[in-house]
C-alpha cells in the first residue's frame, strides 16, 4: 500500500486470516496458514500468524460500517472474510479478559505507520466483544464527522453547538443493526423532549429513541447524545459490558475543515457529535473498555509522516486521553508474510506465473515492504 | 542544436546493458568461447545507461510497458502505470468473483490470470491485413497491404485506447472501462473486434487494387 506505482499483487489489504487446520505445524508447512478457531476468545499465541474465518452473516451484523474499504473488496472477491491473528490484537484481548470491570474503563490506543493494520486490529477486538455479548459502540471513522459535511444545523438543545443530521442518522442506523437486542433491554431514565410536541417517557426502551432519531432527521444528533448518555449511566450497574471502539480518534481534538455560513471556522467542541463522543472517551465510567485507533490518513493539518500519539493527538488530545495503554502495530513479520502469501496463492489472487517461484516471493516481499 | 529523436548520440563502441540476472549467475566454466569473449569485452568497454523502463524484476513485461507508454499523457508515467495496475487488478477481481461462484466443472474454463487475458485480447484485436493510400494517375486508392508485427500490435493497442477514451459515460473510470473492453476482446466480442472486422471487409472489397502495391 505504500508504493502507488507498484500496486501489482499486493494491492489488497488483508486481514488476519486463519484457515482451518487442526494440525501439526511441523509436518505440512503449506497448510498451516489457516486455523479453524472461529471464536476470537480462543485465540492464543499459538494461533499467531494464522487466518480465521468469519461467516458472512456475522460480518453483516457485527460490522455494518467498520471494515476498511479494501477489506470489503477482498471479501467480495473471495466470497469469504478472513482475518489474521496478530500480536497487538492478542495483547488487547488478553488485557480485556483480565480486566476488572469495577474500575474505571481502561483506554487503549492503537498506533502505527500507515497501512500496518490498526483498523483490522480494532475490528478483531470488536468481533471478540460482540461474540462475548458486549454492547459495542463502534465509530468507523471520526474523521468523517469533521470534514466534508454538507449540512450543519444549529442545535436546538444548546445554542452554541452545531448538529450534523446526515452523519448522525447513518451512525444510528448502523448502531441499530449491530446491537438489536440491547436496544430492547435498556430503558431510558429521564424524560426527553424532541421539539414542542414529541417526547419520550421515562422507562421506554432505547430502540424508540433510535427510531425517533431516524424518523426525525433534524434531531438525529440529539438522539445520539441521549443514547450515549443513557448507555454510560447504566454501564456501571453491570447488566452489560460496554466497548467504545473509535477509529481515527485524533479527529476529536484538532481542527475541522467545516465553516459556518459566515465563513468562520468551526472548532470540534462546537459539534454535538464530537462533544458527546469526547464525554464517552473520558474514563469517568466503569464496566467496560475504550479501544481507539489513531489514523494519519484522514487527519487534517498534520504531517503525513506523523504516527505517534503525541503528534497526531496534539497536546489537548494527549492530555484528555492521558492515562492510556499504547499498542504499536508494525508491518508483517516474516512468518505472517509467509502465511499471507500462502493464503493468496491458495485463493488464486497471485496470478502471475512467476509469483510462485522463490524469486517472485522475495521480490514481492521487498516491493511491498511487508506492509499489509 | 540537434535533438536525437530516432537515432542516438552514443559512440558506437558503447554496448547495451544486460538486465537478466541469470546470465550473471552462471559460473565461468559453463560459458562457451564466444560468451567468454563477450564478458571480457563488457568489463573493458563502456556501457550505455539503462532506460528507466527496463527492469530486472520477474514481473515486468515489455507489452505491458508499451501499452502504458501509449496510455501516458504529457509524460505522466506515474498516472499511466497506476491506471494500468488498477486495470489488471479490476480484471483479476471480476474473473475471481466469477471463479469462486462457479460450479466445479466450470472452474477450469474461467481464465483468471490478467496477463494471459491481456495478451490474448491484444492478439484477437490485431488485424491481419491493412489498407494504405496509394496515389496512381491522380486518384488515391485504398490498397490492401500486409502489415508487420509491430504495426499490428501498435494498431491493436491504439484502437483499444481510443475506444476507451471516447465511447464511455462521463463518470466511468478508465481502469473500469479498459477492463470491460479487454474482457470483451478476450471473448472475441466488443467494438474493437468489430473495427478489426470492418477493416478486413474493406480490404476484401478492394481486392482488385492489390496489384497496385509494388513492395
Residues of A in contact with B82 (CB under 8 A): 4-5, 7
Residues of B in contact with A359 (CB under 8 A): 58
Set of cell numbers at residue A77? 472477491
If asked whether residues A149 and A281 sit together in one domain, one would say yes
Handedness of CA B200, B202, B205, B208 (dihedral sign): negative
Give the span between the Cα atoms of A333 and A328, in whole angstroms: 14
Q: Per-residue confidence at B57, pLDDT binned at 50, 70, 90?
A: confident
* Residue A356 touches partner B, C-beta closer than 8 Å: no
Residues of A in contact with B89 (CB under 8 A): 7, 11
Range with top average pLDDT, A35-49, A202-216, A219-233, B200-214: B200-214
The answer to whether the CB of A149 falls within 8 A of the CB of A141 is: no
Q: Per-residue confidence at A27, pLDDT binned at 50, 70, 90?
A: very low
If asked whether residues A324 and A353 sit together in one domain, one would say no
Q: What DSSP letter does each residue of B26-45 carry, written as one string? A: S-GGGS-HHHHHHHHHHHHS
Q: Is residue A231 part of a domain?
A: yes
The answer to whether the CB of B124 falls within 8 A of the CB of B186 is: yes
- Using DSSP's 3-state secondary structure scheme, residue A193 falls into strand
If asked whether residues A166 and A110 sit together in one domain, one would say yes
Q: Is residue A238 part of a domain?
A: yes
pLDDT of residue A2 exceeding 60: no
If asked whether residues A265 and A349 sit together in one domain, one would say no
Q: Is residue A153 part of a domain?
A: yes
The per-residue pLDDT of chain A, averaged, comes to 77
**DSSP 8-class letter at B14:** P
pLDDT of residue A25 exceeding 70: no
Q: Is residue A34 part of a domain?
A: no
pLDDT of residue B53 exceeding 60: yes
CATH level 3 topology of B22-212: Ribosomal Protein S7 (1.10.455)
Contact A352 B92 (CB under 8 A): no
Percent of chain A's residues with pLDDT above 70:
87
| Per-residue confidence (pLDDT) for residue B155, from 0 to 100 | 92
| Per-residue confidence (pLDDT) for residue A287, from 0 to 100 | 78
Range with top average pLDDT, A33-42, A218-227, B142-151: B142-151
pLDDT tens readout for residues A299-327: 777 777 777 888 888 888 888 887 888 88
Q: Is residue A152 part of a domain?
A: yes
Q: Per-residue confidence at B74, pLDDT binned at 50, 70, 90?
A: very high
CA-based nearest residue in chain A for residue B102: A79
Rounded to the nearest angstrom, the minimum Cα separation between A360 and chain B is: 7
Rounded to the nearest angstrom, the minimum Cα separation between A167 and chain B is: 25
Q: Per-residue confidence at B79, pLDDT binned at 50, 70, 90?
A: very high
* Residue B45 touches partner A, C-beta closer than 8 Å: no
Contact B58 A359 (CB under 8 A): yes
Q: Per-residue confidence at A32, pLDDT binned at 50, 70, 90?
A: low
Give the span between the Cα atoms of A37 and A62, in whole angstroms: 18
If asked whether residues A311 and A226 sit together in one domain, one would say yes
The count of structural domains within chain A is: 2
Between A15 and A211, where is the model more confident?
A211
**Which residues constitute the domain of residue A141?**
45-330
Set of cell numbers at residue A278? 469526547
* Residue B25 touches partner A, C-beta closer than 8 Å: no
- Is the pTM above the cut of 0.95? no
If asked whether residues A197 and A140 sit together in one domain, one would say yes
Residues of A in contact with B97 (CB under 8 A): 76-77, 79
B 46-85 near A (Cβ less than 8 A): 57-59, 78, 81-82, 85
Residues of B in contact with A349 (CB under 8 A): 92, 96
pLDDT tens readout for residues A69-127: 888 888 888 878 888 888 888 888 888 888 887 888 888 888 888 888 888 888 888 88
pLDDT tens readout for residues A173-184: 888 888 887 778
pLDDT tens readout for residues B9-20: 888 888 888 877
Contact A5 B82 (CB under 8 A): yes
| Per-residue confidence (pLDDT) for residue B152, from 0 to 100 | 92
Residues of B in contact with A73 (CB under 8 A): 93
Rounded to the nearest angstrom, the minimum Cα separation between A177 and chain B is: 27
Contact A5 B92 (CB under 8 A): no
| Per-residue confidence (pLDDT) for residue A332, from 0 to 100 | 83
Compute the count of residue pairs across chains A and B with CB atoms less than 8 Å apart. 56
A221: number of Cβ within 10 Å? 31
* Residue B115 touches partner A, C-beta closer than 8 Å: yes
**What are the boundaries of each domain within chain B?**
22-212
Nearest to A317 by CA among A256, A254, A271: A254
If asked whether residues A121 and A220 sit together in one domain, one would say yes
If asked whether residues A274 and A234 sit together in one domain, one would say yes
Q: Is residue A177 part of a domain?
A: yes
If asked whether residues A266 and A348 sit together in one domain, one would say no
pLDDT tens readout for residues A193-239: 776 677 777 777 888 888 888 888 778 888 888 888 888 888 777 67
**DSSP 8-class letter at A163:** E
If asked whether residues A300 and A348 sit together in one domain, one would say no
If asked whether residues A324 and A358 sit together in one domain, one would say no
Please compute the mean of the pLDDT values over residues B114-138 and round it to a whole number: 89
CA-based nearest residue in chain B for residue A366: B57
A190: number of Cβ within 10 Å? 12
The per-residue pLDDT of chain B, averaged, comes to 85
* Residue in A79, A352, A355 closest to B101 by CB: A79
If asked whether residues A197 and A234 sit together in one domain, one would say yes
Q: Is residue A29 part of a domain?
A: no
Amino acid at each position: 500500500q505504500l508504493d502507488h506505482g507498484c500496486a501489482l499483487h499486493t494491492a489488497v489489504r488483508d486481514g488476519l486470516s486463519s484457515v482451518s487446520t487442526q494440525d501439526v505445524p511441523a509436518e505440512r508447512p503449506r497448510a498451516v496458514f489457516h486455523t479453524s478457531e472461529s471464536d476470537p476468545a480462543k485465540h492464543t499465541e499459538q494461533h499467531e500468524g494464522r487466518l480465521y474465518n468469519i461467516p458472512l452473516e456475522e460480518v453483516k451484523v457485527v460490522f455494518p460500517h467498520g471494515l476498511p474499504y479494501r477489506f470489503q473488496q477482498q471479501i467480495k472477491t473471495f466470497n469469504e472474510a478472513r482475518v489474521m491473528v496478530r500480536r497487538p490484537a492478542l495483547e488487547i484481548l488478553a488485557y480485556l479478559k483480565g480486566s476488572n470491570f469495577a474500575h474505571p474503563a481502561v483506554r487503549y490506543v492503537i498506533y502505527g505507520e500507515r497501512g500496518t493494520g490498526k483498523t483490522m486490529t480494532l475490528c478483531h477486538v470488536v468481533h471478540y466483544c460482540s461474540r462475548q455479548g458486549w454492547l459495542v459502540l463502534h465509530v468507523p471513522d471520526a474523521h468523517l464527522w469533521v470534514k466534508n459535511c454538507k449540512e450543519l444545523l444549529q442545535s436546538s438543545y444548546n445554542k452554541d453547538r452545531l448538529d450534523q443530521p446526515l452523519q448522525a442518522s447513518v451512525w444510528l442506523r448502523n448502531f441499530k443493526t449491530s446491537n438489536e437486542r440491547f436496544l430492547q433491554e435498556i430503558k431510558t431514565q429521564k424524560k426527553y423532549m424532541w421539539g414542542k410536541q414529541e417526547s419520550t417517557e421515562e422507562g421506554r426502551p432505547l430502540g424508540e429513541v433510535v427510531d425517533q432519531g431516524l424518523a426525525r432527521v433534524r434531531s438525529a444528533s440529539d438522539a445520539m447524545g441521549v443514547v450515549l448518555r443513557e448507555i454510560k449511566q447504566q454501564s456501571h450497574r453491570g447488566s452489560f459490558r460496554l466497548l467504545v471502539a473509535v477509529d481515527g480518534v485524533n479527529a476529536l481534538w484538532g481542527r475541522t475543515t467545516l465553516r459556518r455560513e459566515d465563513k468562520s471556522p468551526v472548532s470540534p467542541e462546537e459539534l454535538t457529535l464530537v462533544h458527546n463522543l469526547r464525554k464517552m472517551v473520558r474514563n469517568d465510567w466503569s464496566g467496560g473498555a475504550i479501544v481507539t485507533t489513531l489514523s494519519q490518513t484522514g487527519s487534517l493539518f498534520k504531517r503525513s509522516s506523523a504516527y505517534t500519539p503525541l503528534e497526531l493527538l496534539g497536546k489537548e488530545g494527549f492530555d484528555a486521553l492521558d492515562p492510556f495503554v499504547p499498542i504499536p502495530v508494525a508491518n508483517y513479520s516474516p512468518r505472517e508474510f509467509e502465511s499471507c502469501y500462502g493464503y493468496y496463492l491458495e485463493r488464486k489472487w497471485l496470478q502471475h506465473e512467476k509469483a510462485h517461484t522463490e524469486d517472485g516471493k522475495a521480490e514481492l516481499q521487498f516491493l511491498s515492504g511487508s506492509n499489509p | 542544436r540537434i535533438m536525437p529523436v530516432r537515432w542516438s548520440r552514443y559512440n558506437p563502441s558503447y554496448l547495451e546493458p544486460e538486465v537478466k540476472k541469470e546470465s550473471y549467475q552462471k559460473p565461468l566454466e559453463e560459458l562457451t568461447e564466444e560468451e567468454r569473449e563477450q564478458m571480457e569485452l563488457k568489463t573493458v568497454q563502456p556501457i550505455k545507461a539503462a532506460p528507466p523502463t527496463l527492469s530486472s524484476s520477474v514481473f515486468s513485461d515489455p507489452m505491458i510497458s508499451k501499452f502504458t507508454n501509449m496510455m501516458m499523457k504529457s509524460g505522466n508515467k506515474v498516472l499511466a502505470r497506476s491506471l494500468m495496475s488498477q486495470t489488471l487488478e479490476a480484471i483479476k477481481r471480476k474473473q475471481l468473483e466469477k471463479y469462486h461462484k462457479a460450479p466445479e466443472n466450470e472452474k477450469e474454463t474461467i481464465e483468471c490470470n490478467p496477463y494471459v487475458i491481456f495478451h490474448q485480447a491484444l492478439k484477437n484485436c490485431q488485424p491481419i491485413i491493412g489498407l494504405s493510400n496509394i496515389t496512381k494517375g491522380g486518384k488515391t486508392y485504398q490498397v490492401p497491404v500486409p502489415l508487420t508485427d509491430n504495426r499490428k500490435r501498435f494498431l491493436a493497442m491504439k484502437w483499444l485506447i481510443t475506444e476507451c477514451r471516447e465511447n464511455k459515460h462521463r463518470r466511468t473510470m478508465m481502469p473500469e472501462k479498459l477492463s470491460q473492453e479487454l474482457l470483451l476482446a478476450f471473448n472475441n466480442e466488443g467494438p474493437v473486434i468489430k473495427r478489426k472486422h470492418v477493416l478486413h471487409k474493406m480490404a476484401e472489397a478492394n481486392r482488385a487494387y492489390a496489384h497496385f502495391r509494388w513492395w
